[in-house]
């Protein structure tokens, strides 16, 4: 079951910390800048900080990982 941090129940720093402790494969943070640029600030459990990534690129990467069972 996916684990999603809700901004309603936690602040951003708490949500990121919980995701890291729960070993979530990817954390995506969307702020005003990311929303404007159609992107997310992405962090991978395996690769570390990936920076701001276009949402279409993220979707494609995740589809490929699911297809190859890399997750």
Q: Could you report the per-residue pLDDT of 4-58, keeping only the tens digit for each?
A: 555 444 576 776 667 666 778 898 889 899 999 999 999 998 899 999 999 999 9
Q: What domains does the chain contain, in order, with CATH numbers?
A: 12-67 (3.40.50.800)
Structure tokens at 13: 């720093």
Q: According to the model, what pLDDT value does residue 63 have?
A: 94
Q: According to the model, what pLDDT value does residue 14 have?
A: 73
Q: According to the model, what pLDDT value does residue 1 have?
A: 40
Q: Percent helix, strand, coil in the chain (nearest 5)?
A: 40, 25, 35
Q: According to the model, what pLDDT value does residue 29 have?
A: 87
Complete edge-to-edge strand list for the sheet that includes strand 48-54: 26-29, 39-44, 48-54
Q: According to the model, what pLDDT value does residue 8 have?
A: 46
């Amino acid at each position: 079951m996916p684990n999603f941090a809700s901004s309603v129940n936690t602040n951003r720093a708490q949500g990121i910390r919980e995701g890291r402790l729960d070993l979530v494969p990817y954390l995506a943070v969307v702020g005003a800048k990311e929303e404007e640029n159609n992107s997310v600030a992405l962090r991978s459990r395996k690769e570390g900080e990936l920076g701001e990534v276009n949402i279409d690129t993220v979707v494609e990467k995740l589809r490929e990982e699911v297809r190859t069972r890399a997750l």
